[in-house]
Structure 1
């Protein structure tokens, strides 16, 4: 190979590497966009699911009725007052105090 052939081969290799990198970032950007769109669509569907669930409850259906139909409950909570944290029940037995050894005089 002469010098010009080596230079042309190197240029072809660099151009192919550049094209591969551009293709990779283009595909990554497209996947990121699809993912963001899917998250937005899922959030909208979750909001609609919750609204329809609340409407069903307001119209007299109970949570167990809806579960009985095999309808998946919404993943978001209904809201309202936060519950008080549960604590472990206290034991009702008095604490035992270790006896001190008798002191002899």
Structure 2
């Protein structure tokens, strides 16, 4: 004999499953927010490093002297290149009969 499942029992089990799933997403979102905050802190620290390294150079230190002190030059960020705009295909210069045609002349500006 099988025990019949009540609506309340089914709802309770479903809610427990959903609560576990929601908890895992909550944990994931918290970790992602922390990662974003840490990345921003690293970016800020890198900007400070560049600024202070350049200040040391302005104060008369040479890159070689700073290197001998264990102070390395800030890493240069790779520049991202923008893609060139796609070239438009050349206008078809063949006529209806397959013969080459000359492009239409540019209109002359009026002198009015």
C-alpha distance in 2, partners of 1:21/1:4? 23
C-alpha distance in 1, partners of 2:10/2:22? 18
User: What is the TM-score normalised by the length of structure 2?
Assistant: 0.59
Quick one: higher RCO (CA 8 Å, sep 6+), 1 or 2? 1
Gaps of 5+ in 1: 78-105
User: What is the TM-score normalised by the length of structure 1?
Assistant: 0.63
Q: Give the conservation status (yes or no) of the 8 Å contact 1:49–1:74.
A: yes
Residue deviations 1:61-97, cap 9 Å, x none?
Answer: 11111111112321236xxxxxxxxxxxxxxxxxxxx
Q: Give the conservation status (yes or no) of the 8 Å contact 1:53–1:74.
A: yes
Tell me how large the CA RMSD over aligned residues is: 1.8
Considering fraction of residues, name the structure with more helix. 1
C-alpha distance in 2, partners of 1:73/1:24? 42
Gaps of 5+ in 2: 78-112
